[in-house]
Structure 1
Amino acid sequence: MDCCLSYTNPRFPTPPAAAPARRPPISLGLRATRLIVVSSASSKSKCDFGGLNAPLEPRTPAGRLLSGVCLDDRGGFHAASRRELERLAVQRDEAAARLQLSLGSDEACLHRRIAEFRHHECQDAVEDVMYMLIYYEFSEMGVNLVPPLSKCAYNGRLEIWPSKDWELESIHSAEVLQMVREHLRAVAGCRANSNVTDSWATTEVQRFRLCEMYAASILYGYFLKTASLRYQLERGLDLSSSHYGLAGRGQHPVSEMFAAGSSYIAHGRVSSPRSAPASPVSYPLQNKPESLRFYMMGFDHESIQMCAKPKSKEAVNLLERHTSALFGDEETGLLETDDVLTTSFASLKRFLLEAVAFGSFLWNAENFVSDVYMLEEN
């Protein structure tokens, strides 16, 4: 006998009822959504989310405003995002200016506290803006972010449907897509051309390990975006340049360096890799790299870390919040749990493709925001 758990997120809220005993479902306040978790007699379950949904809920007025714009005026979404960023920049800068003017006066302590409060308030709002920018890119593809696992996994079984693999792969060039598929194979054993039987074969994975793979895949997507743009920039340099590429020949394929994942999770928090200065290497002009793959083969470990590291603290905070909301235990909020999930390789592939796309969109959002609002360097 099938059982289902569903929730709705109405566009026009009704008057508040009595306080619920459990935390309300997380949504972005957009169109009516429904999450269905089905358990059949064969013990197979399906996570089917047919509307617009995301693990994080906007926690600031700026985020809530943009979630409404995303629904009612998609054509004006980026203009509205820019206006919000400009407003936040003015608020933060005005508070900092008043602090400078008050130095040496009796009111300096008060203005310092106001400036610190405004800084943190604006940082939270900017993270919401970045998240909505990422969410907008997913919604443009018609892809819904996977809901929190506490609301999606049923009796230890996690299945994600529809897969949306084609949409999630379509954002990459053919060369980058091949490297993404190699990453999926290295991280989770997902084969690019597996048959239906292999795709729906089941595997068991600890929730914490799945979180590691998801976080590492986000950073891999961010890395691919950084490396691709750097490659395009350096190919456009004058041919007389004596330096091309970053560092000496790497000993391992880049995808394998993201496979472990454990270096990106520390004590229940997502951590970005530490960076080190990259030393340029001279390539003979006749051996100038002609492909992104060959270019990336010149990366050493430090260069890979540099390209995979988000440039701003806001981006790191957002990555941590998103991952915690997605994987955190509903009661304790902790990521480090011993839960074991049963899932198919098809669902695992869909899960990690979303993470790679999230990393690419995180780079885009960070770049969009930094044009208007000065982010805090990571």
Structure 2
Amino acid sequence: MWRRKDCRWLSALALTLLARDVFDAFASSWREDMVRQKVPLIRRGREALLHAAEEGDSAAPALWSPGPAKLETKAARRVQKHLQYDPLLVLVDETVKEEFKLLAAKKAKQESSRPNPPGAMGEALGLLSLRRRIAHIQRKERLKTASELMYLMVASMFKYLEVPFIPPLKGGGLVRLDMDGEQLRGLTEIYSMEALELVRDHLFNIVGVEARKMGPEAPALRIAMYQAGQVYAMSALFGYYLRKADVRYQLDKIVSLHEVEEDEPDEPEIGETRKRHRRPVPRWMELSWQKGDSRVDTSLKEYIQSFGPEELRQIRSLASAEAQAVMELQISALFGNLRVLKSKLLKAIEVRGSKLQANSKGAENDEEATELLEQGLVSGRVESISISYDNLRRLILEAVAFGSVLFDAEREADSTYELTPVTPSDRRDLDLG
């Protein structure tokens, strides 16, 4: 049975979104949901003798695999072929832009078509209802196409960084991920120095300092599949929010330095990243940031903490429905249907919502919930993975990078095709189905 100190990273996980006071509302809502349902997060113990999801696949694939998601639209499949074979990614970028232009033209044509209404009122109402259904289907098809194209844009950045995606973990078992040092460097070199500090805080608050000190000797973790998916989803959201905040921070810092140096002729020095990559790439992939300067006293964390309620709301929200669909596509491809996984997990500890089921033998406290969950993991009623701390770090770093790159891909796509803005009523948690 778990001891409380073994689960102490649970509370830390809810405090890792950029700054404790900044994203406390988002983080606490996730934490309260898990506590309300009496769902313990991670169990330490011996490494489970399970089969890895990709057991036997020791050789690297001959062609680049553009993510675990299965893409269905014709436009995405055309781009996907280029992504597998194009080493410079230039053809990929041009094809994506062309597909977005075609999609924009299709959208304009579909939204401008207005058939002449018939004379009879009943026939007119029937035609109106049919038109609305057709328009709804067309919007869904366009959103799916745009989101899959954006997904491939994220995949192209991972190819540029020479970092393969984690394979699907839906099969459960012992997770063994490629821990090549160059790949880990690629997952961290996309950030400014200020943002990288917050990424490290996020990582170590989840994994813990003790595990970092123990290194390979740290015990493996047995995690319910739903919980692993939630960690990935939260880290991806963190990466998206962090990138969005950092873009504003870097722009404001450049403006501040220009104001300080308005009497000086020298241009502010720009820090280049990814120097090990020599090949030309599309413009939106070339990221650079203003180097830190002693005259800039506000850190990125302090900068975010200074936001007002409206600024925080904008930073904490995904800008488009397409970006939301991309996150759902990736997480579902990796872990499966999270709603189904969550249902099985809650059923294993016999908890419904925030209350115990009537006349049930459900858990009455955290210790009993932990014991019931452990029984579900052992019996197989709750899907799970067994993962080392090193592999958990790799998973978290990929998730944060995925969210960060998604923000850049979203901005680039929106310059060619008008994405669907997310209204407050459209926003939903990444508790996916």
TM range (shorter): 0.5 to 0.7
Larger Rg: 2
Asked whether the equivalents of residues 55 and 148 of structure 1 are also in contact (C-alpha less than 8 Å), the reply is yes
Asked whether the equivalents of residues 235 and 399 of structure 2 are also in contact (C-alpha less than 8 Å), the reply is yes
Corresponding position of 2:155: 135
Alpha carbons of 1:365 and 1:80: their partners in 2 closer, same or farther (altered >3 Å)?
A: same
How far apart, in 1, do the equivalents of 2:312 and 2:388 lie?
30
Alpha carbons of 1:102 and 1:127: their partners in 2 closer, same or farther (altered >3 Å)?
A: farther
CA offset at residue 354 of structure 1?
0.2
How far apart, in 1, do the equivalents of 2:202 and 2:117 lie?
53
Q: 73, 89, 94: which is aligned to 1:79?
A: 94
Corresponding position of 2:140: 120
Give the stretch that moved more between structures: 163-172 or 48-57. Answer: 48-57
Asked whether the equivalents of residues 223 and 304 of structure 1 are also in contact (C-alpha less than 8 Å), the reply is no
How far apart, in 2, do the equivalents of 1:197 and 1:240 lie?
47
Amino acid at match of 1:59: E
Confirm whether residue 357 of structure 1 aligns to residue 365 of structure 2.
no
How far apart, in 2, do the equivalents of 1:202 and 1:347 lie?
10
**Higher relative helix content:** 2
Amino acid at match of 1:140: Y
Q: 342, 349, 368: which is aligned to 2:412?
A: 368
CA offset at residue 367 of structure 1?
0.7
Amino acid at match of 2:73: T
Q: 69, 73, 80: which is aligned to 1:60?
A: 73
Amino acid at match of 1:76: L
Alpha carbons of 1:363 and 1:295: their partners in 2 closer, same or farther (altered >3 Å)?
A: same
CA offset at residue 195 of structure 1?
5.3
Asked whether the equivalents of residues 289 and 295 of structure 1 are also in contact (C-alpha less than 8 Å), the reply is no
Confirm whether residue 95 of structure 1 aligns to residue 114 of structure 2.
no
CA offset at residue 229 of structure 1?
0.8
Alpha carbons of 1:354 and 1:104: their partners in 2 closer, same or farther (altered >3 Å)?
A: farther
Asked whether the equivalents of residues 92 and 115 of structure 1 are also in contact (C-alpha less than 8 Å), the reply is no
The normalised TM-score by structure 2 is: 0.59
The normalised TM-score by structure 1 is: 0.67
Q: Which residues in structure 2 correspond to 1:13-24 (within 5 Å)?
A: none
Q: 233, 250, 257: which is aligned to 1:215?
A: 233
Per chain length, whose mean CA-contact separation is higher, i.e. which structure has more relative contact order (CA < 8 Å, sep 6+)? Answer: 2
How far apart, in 1, do the equivalents of 2:395 and 2:106 lie?
38
The CA deviation string for residues 41-99 of structure 1, in whole angstroms up to 9 with x for no partner, is 99486656623332211110011000011123432111110110010111111111003
Corresponding position of 2:317: 309
How far apart, in 1, do the equivalents of 2:107 and 2:149 lie?
16
Corresponding position of 2:186: 167
SS at match of 1:169: coil
How far apart, in 2, do the equivalents of 1:191 and 1:127 lie?
39
CA offset at residue 102 of structure 1?
3.9
The gaps in structure 1 that reach 5 residues or longer are: 1-40, 242-286
Q: Which residues in structure 2 correspond to 1:276-315 (within 5 Å)?
A: 289-299=297-307, 303-315=311-323
Q: Which residues in structure 2 correspond to 1:155-194 (within 5 Å)?
A: 157-163=174-180, 164-189=183-208, 194=213
CA offset at residue 329 of structure 1?
5.8
How far apart, in 2, do the equivalents of 1:296 and 1:62 lie?
38
Corresponding position of 1:319: 327
Corresponding position of 2:247: 229
Amino acid at match of 1:66: V
How far apart, in 2, do the equivalents of 1:191 and 1:303 lie?
36
Asked whether the equivalents of residues 82 and 91 of structure 2 are also in contact (C-alpha less than 8 Å), the reply is yes
Give the stretch that moved more between structures: 303-312 or 360-369. Answer: 303-312
Amino acid at match of 2:104: A
Alpha carbons of 1:202 and 1:236: their partners in 2 closer, same or farther (altered >3 Å)?
A: same
Question: CA RMSD for the aligned pairs?
Answer: 3.2
Identity %: 27
Give the stretch that moved more between structures: 72-81 or 211-220. Answer: 72-81
Give the stretch that moved more between structures: 48-57 or 220-229. Answer: 48-57
How far apart, in 2, do the equivalents of 1:223 and 1:150 lie?
27
Corresponding position of 2:221: 203
Alpha carbons of 1:340 and 1:301: their partners in 2 closer, same or farther (altered >3 Å)?
A: farther
SS at match of 1:319: helix
CA offset at residue 320 of structure 1?
1.6
Amino acid at match of 2:395: F
Amino acid at match of 2:194: E
